[in-house]
Amino acid sequence: MGLGINMATNGSNNIRVGIDIGTSKVVCLIAEYVDHELRVIGLGSQTSRGLKNGVIVDIESTVSAIESAVNDAELMSGKQVTSAFVGISGGHINGLNSEGVVGIKDKKVKVSDVDRVITAAQAYAIPDDSQLLHVLPRDYIIDQQNGIKEPLGMAGVRLETKVHLVTCNRNSAQNISSCMKACGITVEGFVLEQLASSYSVLSEDEKELGTCLIDMGGGTSDVAVFQNGAISHTANIPTSGDHITKDIARALQTPSMQAEELKKKYGCASSSIIHENETIEVPGMAGRKNKIFSRMALASVIEQRYLDIFGLIKQKLNLSSLENNIPAGIVITGGTSRMEGVAQLAEEVFNAPVRIGSPSGLIGLSDILRNPIYATAVGLVLYSQKSQEEDHMNYLFMKDKNIFNKAFRWIQNNF
Ligand SMILES: Nc1ncnc2c1ncn2[C@@H]1O[C@H](COP(=O)(O)OP(=O)(O)OP(=O)(O)O)[C@@H](O)[C@H]1O
Ligand SMILES: [Mg+2]
């Protein structure tokens, strides 16, 4: 965006920018990579009104929220944002597992063999209105030996891969691009929001052992299951914090704004931890008198919605036989994870250990950025760094493979 003053743009290759266009807020986060550290230099956050359940429904107000968030981050950092990694979410996202198999040409796996097997795994009929977002390798198998993370250089005759493919609706992605273009920003890459959040809240151990990440925002609850270090399942529930606020407004007959306040101040997702005699004063609708409710009544409304969301997620995990394959348990992040009692309730539903995931991985502003509402924005910056570290020539094709693989490929191609 033009600020009318002389500023360095983020074309210089040590600046990383993530823009999270959420249902509740738009965040622009700028970090600088210096001395092997990512230091936050700019943060802008603006209330968002142009999205419904994670999808843009009003271009004009979305553009204005992005402009405002980017402006604040630019002013703070003294940099001009010209490109960014952007989060994408919503009911139009589809995740599915696919496989590919090829013969190894010279009995030793080369870059070209890996390229061919990944291409083979993408041989899936993507509907005309969709586009491929990610190809996330889960496993390589050489001559029936599975569990190979890095196949390059290994001997064999048959190379197989298992991948998780993520597709999105073409128009939804196009709408995000148009909003960014209107702000003078090029989309360097779209990143599935729960994939971005996983970079900032999950440990390598959790991903390796098996864990389920739930990013509960304002409009959507985004799910990603990790096994053996890679994503094996993604899902999206079009319900989250905004629906809880609406439930409260309806049940306690109070305006939405007051319902949102009551939710954050007195809300609890687990009615069993509330004292029976606690009461709250609830503002009446349209000039009506305030009413006194028990805090238990508020908690029951909230609990029911969390139970519905967790129930749907449990069903999806069950359908994919994943429920008993996540020994590291569940990690919940996003603004809607901040409610008291969420972890307790989720532990009861999933019968698994649950923790609330706060983002980390960047230096600076940590007192602000440790809030789960910033999980995606912080993750986008970390994702951007990972992409930057990859071989630039192969980057577009290799987007989601590990860094070692790319470094190896670059060496093979250049020497
Ligand atoms: N302390 C809190 N207790 C309960 N809910 C909270 C709290 N703080 C924020 N929230 C809720 O979190 C939601 C916003 O979360 P977040 O900022 O992660 O959403 P978003 O990323 O904008 O939306 P989405 O990812 O769904 O598009 C709102 O519904 C808000 O009411
Ligand atoms: Mg979000």
Query: Which value, in Å, is the radius of gyration of the alpha carbons in the chain?
Result: 23
Q: Tell me the CA–centroid distance for residue 272 and ligand 2, in Å.
A: 28
Instruction: Summarize pLDDT for 201-241 with one digit per residue, the tens.
Output: 999 999 999 999 999 999 999 999 999 999 999 999 999 99
Closest ligand, as measured to the CA of 197: 2
* Average pLDDT of span 292-303: 97
* Beta bridge partner(s), residue 303: none
Structural domain 94-169, CATH architecture: 2-Layer Sandwich (3.30)
| Mean confidence (pLDDT) of the chain | 91
Residue 7 reports pLDDT greater than 80 = no
How far is Cα 13 from Cα 9, in angstroms, rounded to an integer?
10
Q: Who's near 10: CB < 8 A, 6+ residues apart?
A: 16, 17, 30, 79, 80, 81, 82, 83, 84
Q: Tell me the CA–centroid distance for residue 89 and ligand 2, in Å.
A: 8
Quote the pLDDT of residue 324: 86
Residue 4 reports pLDDT greater than 80 = no
* Average pLDDT of span 397-409: 42
Joined tokens for residue 226? 């990790």
Quote the pLDDT of residue 207: 97
Closest ligand, as measured to the CA of 380: 2
Instruction: Summarize pLDDT for 165-192 with one digit per residue, the tens.
Output: 999 999 999 999 999 999 999 999 999 9
Residue 414 reports pLDDT greater than 90 = no
Quote the pLDDT of residue 321: 85
Quote the pLDDT of residue 9: 65
Ligand 1 atom with minimal separation from the 244 CA: 29
Can you give the residue ranges of every domain in the chain? 94-169
Ligand 1 is surrounded, with C-beta below 6 A, by: 22-25, 54, 89, 217-220, 240-242, 245, 260, 263-264, 267, 334-336, 338-339, 373
* Beta bridge partner(s), residue 226: 211, 231
| CA nearest ligand 1 atom 10, residue | 335
Closest ligand, as measured to the CA of 374: 1
Helix and strand element counts for the chain (H, E): 13, 20
The pick from 29, 336, 345, 370 for probing ligand 1's pocket by mutation, whose C-beta has the most ligand atoms within 8 angstroms, reads 336
The pick from 243, 373, 380 for probing ligand 1's pocket by mutation, whose C-beta has the most ligand atoms within 8 angstroms, reads 373
Instruction: Summarize pLDDT for 102-126 with one digit per residue, the tens.
Output: 999 999 999 999 999 999 999 888 8
Convert 80-104 to b/e letters by CB count within 10 Å (16 or more is b): bbbbbbbbbbbebbbbeebbbebeb
